[in-house]
Structure 1
Amino acid sequence: MSNAIQPPKAKIIPKLLEKHGHSRTDNYYWLNERENPEVIDYLNKENEYYQKSTAHTKDFQNSLFEEMKARIKEDDESVPYFYNGYFYITRFEKGKDYPIHSRKKGSMEAPEEIMFDCNEMAKGHAYFNLSGLSVSEDNVWASFGVDTVSRRQYTIQIKNLQTGEILPVAIENTTAGATWASDNQTLFYSRKDEQTLRADKIYKHKLGTAASQDVLVFFEKDETFDVSVYKSKSKKYIIINSNSTMTTEYRMVLSATPDDKFTIFQKRTRGLEYSMSHFGDHFYIVTNKDKATNFKLMKTPEDATAKENWVDVIPHRDEVLLEDIDIFAAYLVVTERYNGLNQIRIMPWSGEGAYYLPFESETFTAYTTTNLDFETEILRYSFQSLATPSSVIDFNMRTQTKTILKEQEVLGGEFDKNNYTEERIWATAKDGTKVPISLVYRKGLKKNGQNPTLLYAYGSYGVTMDCYFSSVRLSLLDRGFIYAIAHIRGGEDLGRPWYENGKLLKKKNTFTDFIDCSQFLIAQKYTSSQHLYAEGGSAGGLLMGAIVNMAPSLYHGVIAQVPFVDVVTTMLDDSIPLTTGEYDEWGNPNVKKYYNYMLSYSPYDNVTAQEYPNMYVATGLHDSQVQYWEPAKWVAKLRNLKTDNNILYLDTNMDAGHGGASGRFEAIKEIAKEYSFLLDLEGIKR
């Protein structure tokens, strides 16, 4: 297909790396010099090779893009939510890439006040993201963060919503997260370490002063923690959260007296995780205290917050993961997970008549959304499944009636969810564990082993890979693809132990689960190795790197987005963003047993002279989560060692970071590239 066009070869400059008396040679270490013109030249050559090799698919890519774009309602808006006297709306206009944030006072019939038109603000920038919008209690001031590089380093500014004036203050290198105290003069925000990008400081800014006069309120010196600041739903407290993989600690101050000293809620104890919500004269705490692996709900008086005062409200259950709570004046709403599926439980404070919301499907996601008002009997939640577009629902907890406020529209007139079949099946892993797989495909599909199948997974950080609807995905389904999600260990899909059994020294369960799911789909005649494709991004890209080393012949093609593949070298470099906070996830390679284990699966370190599947690898030059050089080095090493003539593309976005392009349609162009890669391998030309 692309044999006539020769791929670039990165030059080899051996660098010896030594640790624990063990030596390894990295021939492509030099690629991490972002400012080196030779590095940029190599990335550009790889891009050129990708562009030339896929020139025959360009028209198809464009038509795929237009097809996907045509399903999206361009002049769309969010369901308004009411907060502190105003209805807030986010909307898009036809032909525009970015959102418009607006509000209406008191009623939806009131005139619209445009707070931020991101289309105007994005002009002149290849990348633009506005985040962390926070409005003061008097509704006059809004703080907001802007990132124009895609390294998630936001500059906070403040706008007067009455006059439209943006104050001259620009607070740089923040997370964008900020919250106003009740005096409407004091803004708390979190700032990052310049080098590691760890959020490690909370500052206090006073209106009318320069950013240089801002006061440091809290510094998190433990490099495995990061910090954030927010206001309780009751508006009574400003709360600082210090968080690591396994441990949490909160501090708080009354929002009415923001210059007082913060007090610790419950001091950090390694392994104790908790989150707290204020209601009435108590705090309600979701915690793993007393070996509650799947978490339980406790409460404690406002004036006695240390853990010895906590008492059980909902005790721990071995088979049910307690994920979150929403508090209302008359109801407690609990989000749980049982057998891998979401449950929403409504519990009146009166103690009588608790019930669950009824959900029929096994391939769905349901979660509570924006519920900012205490004094309401309406719960707002969202529902979607692999074949059912996302809807936003207002549910009356007293009458148990629901109103669908909005269902995502799929334009073009051809979509009917009844044309698709959804299934949940269970593969058996090699250690006997049952692993769920969710699937969606067109009705009438024959299980003859010939169906092209895209298997997706993530499997890290306890992130649950819930079933979600995608109108873009229809471009694969309608061309005969099966789309499947493997709910492998390392996520929290089947409760906290599911996560614990897929991290640290059990990380390989994540990879073998995915391989076992792949083999199960083949054994059940959904597909075959000639038609099976795998996809994952970031830590899911690590998964892709591991499986192509371990079981390359199982897959015809693999998509790895911003893949974390150079595990050992990255985890040994504590100057790289995120590294120190990840020791509880991957292990600390400064300790020999973790070093040895990580080395045994690190994709980059385990590339060998063997045949590899067709591969499309995407990255961004400014990525702060997974540095561009990891995929670049990996591809260079694969090019040098692999023994096949299969496709290998490295596609680097020279303007973007970890999340890819920022505009809503630019992101679809990236998906069109991926889909054209898959469809081209299947010989599907239109």
Structure 2
Amino acid sequence: MADRAAPPVAKKVPTQRVHHGDVVVDDYEWMRDKEDPEVIAYLEAQNAFVEQETAHLAQLRRDIFGEIKSRVQETDMSVPTRSGRFWYFTRTTEGQQYAVSCRCPIASPDDWTPPEVTPGVALPGEEIVFDANAEARGHDFFSLGATSVSHDGDWLAYSTDVKGDERYTLRIRNLVTGELLPDTIAGIAAGATWSRDARYVFYSTVDDAWRPDTVWRHEVGSAEPDVQVFHEPDERYWVGIGTTQSEDYLVLSVGSKVTSEALVLSADDPTGEFVSVAGRTDGVDYSVEHARIAGQDWFVIVHNGERDGVKAIDFAVDLVPVGDFGARRELIPHRPGRRIEDVDCFRDYLVLSYRADALPRLAIADLRRVDGIPAPDDFVEVTFPQELRSAGLGANAEWDTPRLRIVYTSYVDPAEVFDLDVATGERTLLRRQPVLGGYDPDDYTAVREWAVAGDGTRVPVSLVFRRDLDRSAPAPMLLYGYGSYETCLDPGFSVARLSMLDRGMVMAFAHVRGGGEMGRLWYENGKTLSKKNTFTDFIDVARHLIDTGWTSPDHLVAEGGSAGGLLVGAVVNLAPELFNGVLAAVPFVDALTSILDPSLPLTVIEWDEWGDPLHDPEVYAYMKSYSPYENVAPRPYPAILAENSLHDTRVLFVEAAKWVARLQECTTSENPVLLKTEMTAGHGGVSGRYKQWEETAFELAWILQQSGAPAGRG
């Protein structure tokens, strides 16, 4: 390997950082300026190095792209969802990058059976609501933020981003005449919410740190200045606006990572004043919905506040009468280990979304069968045969729906959409995600194992593989992790994953602390001054999989993105010998530098997640001890592929650029360290489904190489 090409060498410009008496010299901070031609030249040189180092994988990439494409029904459509006078659905067409939003009229007010659909065949009265392909024409990048239709169905408010920096432009179209109004609002957050009378559109703007901080009211067709509805000065909080399921109330949400507040306003009074439902108490997180129970209007509050001196760590549900916020009563009590996430309210049903045993679950109370306020036992769980599965509410736009739309999937079952008749339990299958090429779920299986962390904590691990996998020898394996923000790695199906499984790979998911799979304490024990549990859990999972014969270090590849990139970046400093490759997508690897700078996007909001190193020396020292960039040192690193995007506003491109420069400087192995930068994209990477498949094929080819899996399918 002595003739291996050398990567581009980054120049060093020592920059001093001083905090809490600690002096740090950073040689690569100069890369932060993306307007600097020298920075762009360096990124392009790294891209050229990636092309050179991966050129031999070109055929494998083409093969995988072809496999993904051959399994996807490219001309397809979603199940229609009723909203107002129309059925709404999306179409995809072979050769087009983006979906087209469409609708057709309902037959009558009591028409609740979605029309039978045939991909490529128009429905009676079908019309296009929004064609993303037309809007994206001429742009290298395109992202759709909002497609919000007014209550009467006559108006569309939509927002687009053609750069990747998540600064959207809002426009309004008359769906009856097709007229595009001159109303144009630039530089806003993604969403848009209509008033019930379709006279106003509410939207949010962001501050210099990319924090949604202000809600505005725009009068459609008016040249008058937009009205500021709400402004949040505290930099720890973001704001947003939406409606209740009933559409009777506008809901203005204010939240940090640990504290939230909900303010409501009657939808019939869009120019009125919002009123706080339960105030704002530090450390109390809550959300609000509107329900009509036993002839009375209530606000349903999902919260982690206290009752009788006991904090509802895994959340409870209360009711408060509309108009009498002081008369609050309990609906569903807190139960440790059952993490309540949401309650959706319909005319006839309350739907409880929660998780237990590291899996998402649903339970439904049928209000038609309840005399008065439902008791906890009136919520009946919706069950499924597959042990490792995900289920949740699908698109249920109408408050008075007689049936509930539910979506089910697992690691091996493509997504299914069905309507549930709650009274009879009958399930009507409306769609099963098509997987072409003779896919048989019985050829694959998924199992749950438990690794034991160093402190004795049992950490769940999910594994997916072909049933005919040869277990007599260590298998090629991809181990994926995230472990932040209470985000859960729930079971789900992936067409692209089949290209790995069919080559004898095992896909493993490490449900480490910092995620939310095991409840709120699972999250609490993997953040701030307990963050290192996230990294050591992942390492203990890797060792468990090696010790139990599933894989070996020569066959194990780790992957994580964004905060998951921080995870694998920290892990590769702690235990590089366990992995033969690490894929880090838009990785948050210069975490300390970013969290020290309150002028950077989202930094102050993030202090609840990581701690505040700017003002707290203990947090500073703790973050410095694990931040991947800070801890790169001469050691034999495995092969590393880092991917970032020039216009990313969540994790700036400079983090991966600096990290790779230091890794290339310090590694004592001959394993290549690669940096691939998307020059016209943001945090989510490239746009357009074919471009995304190409990017996936690039990643999978590299993963297969590093895992030692065969290039050809078994």
Counterpart in 1 of 2:215?
202
CA distance in 1, matches of 2:232, 2:380: 42
Cα deviation, residue 543, structure 1: 0.3
Q: What TM-score, normalized to structure 2?
A: 0.94
How high is the sequence identity, in percent, across the aligned residues? 42
- Structure 1 window deviating more from structure 2 (57-66 vs 79-88): it is 57-66
Question: Which of 407, 410, 417 lines up with 1:392 in the alignment?
Answer: 417
**Contact 2:569/2:589 (<8 A) preserved:** yes
CA distance in 2, matches of 1:544, 1:419: 31
Counterpart in 1 of 2:392?
367
Counterpart in 1 of 2:302?
286
**1:285-324 to 2 correspondence within 5 Å?**
285-290=301-306, 291-305=311-325, 308-324=326-342
Question: What's the secondary structure of 1:213's corresponding residue?
Answer: coil
Counterpart in 2 of 1:112?
126
Task: Please say if 1:140 is aligned against 2:140.
Answer: no
Cα deviation, residue 545, structure 1: 0.4
Cα deviation, residue 398, structure 1: 0.5
Question: What's the secondary structure of 2:630's corresponding residue?
Answer: coil
Give 1:137's aligned amino acid: H
Counterpart in 1 of 2:700?
675
Counterpart in 1 of 2:40?
40
Give 2:678's aligned amino acid: N
Cα deviation, residue 374, structure 1: 2.5
Give 1:227's aligned amino acid: V
Task: Please say if 1:623 is aligned against 2:637.
Answer: no
Question: What's the secondary structure of 1:169's corresponding residue?
Answer: strand
Cα deviation, residue 462, structure 1: 0.4
Cα deviation, residue 64, structure 1: 1.2
Report the CA distance shift for 1:37/1:285 in structure 2 as closer, same or farther (over 3 A): same
Give 1:292's aligned amino acid: A
Question: What's the secondary structure of 1:680's corresponding residue?
Answer: helix
Cα deviation, residue 230, structure 1: 0.8
CA distance in 1, matches of 2:43, 2:3: 20
CA distance in 2, matches of 1:151, 1:362: 40
**Contact 1:341/1:362 (<8 A) preserved:** no
**1:252-291 to 2 correspondence within 5 Å?**
252-280=264-292, 281-290=297-306, 291=311
Cα deviation, residue 2, structure 1: 9.2
**Contact 1:60/1:676 (<8 A) preserved:** yes
**1:330-349 to 2 correspondence within 5 Å?**
330-349=348-367
Question: What's the secondary structure of 1:168's corresponding residue?
Answer: strand
Cα deviation, residue 362, structure 1: 2.7
**1:371-386 to 2 correspondence within 5 Å?**
371-386=396-411
CA distance in 1, matches of 2:536, 2:143: 37
Cα deviation, residue 330, structure 1: 2.3
**Contact 1:539/1:564 (<8 A) preserved:** yes
Provide Cα deviations, 1:450-501, integer angstroms capped at 9, x if missing partner: 2000010110000011011001100000000000111110000011110000
Cα deviation, residue 361, structure 1: 2.4
**1:198-237 to 2 correspondence within 5 Å?**
198-210=211-223, 213-237=225-249
**1:589-608 to 2 correspondence within 5 Å?**
589-590=613-614, 591-608=616-633
CA distance in 2, matches of 1:449, 1:529: 13
**Which segments of 5 or more consecutive residues in structure 2 lack a partner in the other structure?**
108-114, 116-122
Q: What TM-score, normalized to structure 1?
A: 0.97
CA distance in 2, matches of 1:259, 1:495: 39
CA distance in 2, matches of 1:341, 1:83: 30
Cα deviation, residue 562, structure 1: 0.3
Report the CA distance shift for 1:520/1:407 in structure 2 as closer, same or farther (over 3 A): same
Report the CA distance shift for 1:309/1:242 in structure 2 as closer, same or farther (over 3 A): same
**Contact 2:241/2:250 (<8 A) preserved:** yes
Task: Please say if 1:479 is aligned against 2:490.
Answer: no
Give 1:131's aligned amino acid: G
RMSD across aligned C-alpha pairs, in angstroms? Answer: 1.3
**Which segments of 5 or more consecutive residues in structure 1 lack a partner in the other structure?**
none
Equivalent pairs, count: 681
**Contact 1:449/1:522 (<8 A) preserved:** no
Give 1:92's aligned amino acid: T
Provide Cα deviations, 1:542-573, integer angstroms capped at 9, x if missing partner: 00100000000000111000000001110011
Task: Please say if 1:538 is aligned against 2:550.
Answer: no
**Contact 1:14/1:26 (<8 A) preserved:** yes
CA distance in 2, matches of 1:469, 1:523: 28
Provide Cα deviations, 1:154-203, integer angstroms capped at 9, x if missing partner: 1010000011111112111111211111221111111111x211101100
Give 2:312's aligned amino acid: A
Counterpart in 2 of 1:666?
691
**Contact 2:566/2:589 (<8 A) preserved:** yes
Counterpart in 1 of 2:54?
54
Cα deviation, residue 234, structure 1: 1.5
Displaced runs of 4 or more, over 6 A = none
Question: What's the secondary structure of 2:189's corresponding residue?
Answer: strand
**Contact 2:565/2:588 (<8 A) preserved:** yes
Provide Cα deviations, 1:71-118, integer angstroms capped at 9, x if missing partner: 111011111100111100111111110010111111445311101111
**Contact 1:515/1:551 (<8 A) preserved:** yes
Cα deviation, residue 264, structure 1: 1.9
Provide Cα deviations, 1:508-541, integer angstroms capped at 9, x if missing partner: 0000000000000011100011101100000000
Counterpart in 2 of 1:684?
710
**Contact 1:448/1:527 (<8 A) preserved:** no
CA distance in 2, matches of 1:7, 1:284: 57
CA distance in 1, matches of 2:383, 2:85: 33
**Contact 2:361/2:390 (<8 A) preserved:** no
**Contact 2:74/2:93 (<8 A) preserved:** yes
CA distance in 2, matches of 1:25, 1:448: 50
**Contact 1:17/1:26 (<8 A) preserved:** yes
**Contact 1:227/1:241 (<8 A) preserved:** yes
CA distance in 2, matches of 1:314, 1:685: 53
Task: Please say if 1:551 is aligned against 2:575.
Answer: yes
Question: What's the secondary structure of 2:146's corresponding residue?
Answer: strand
CA distance in 2, matches of 1:449, 1:605: 37
**1:498-513 to 2 correspondence within 5 Å?**
498-513=522-537
Counterpart in 1 of 2:120?
none
CA distance in 1, matches of 2:40, 2:473: 43
Cα deviation, residue 376, structure 1: 2.8
CA distance in 2, matches of 1:3, 1:63: 29
Counterpart in 2 of 1:416?
440
**Contact 2:577/2:638 (<8 A) preserved:** yes
**Contact 1:448/1:526 (<8 A) preserved:** no
Question: Which of 152, 162, 168 lines up with 2:166 in the alignment?
Answer: 152
Cα deviation, residue 611, structure 1: 0.5
**Contact 1:391/1:408 (<8 A) preserved:** yes
Report the CA distance shift for 1:631/1:3 in structure 2 as closer, same or farther (over 3 A): farther
**Contact 2:505/2:709 (<8 A) preserved:** no
Task: Please say if 1:184 is aligned against 2:208.
Answer: no
CA distance in 1, matches of 2:705, 2:186: 45
Cα deviation, residue 354, structure 1: 4.1
Question: What's the secondary structure of 1:533's corresponding residue?
Answer: strand
Report the CA distance shift for 1:375/1:685 in structure 2 as closer, same or farther (over 3 A): closer
Question: What's the secondary structure of 1:177's corresponding residue?
Answer: coil
Give 1:101's aligned amino acid: S
CA distance in 2, matches of 1:343, 1:169: 43
Cα deviation, residue 257, structure 1: 1.5
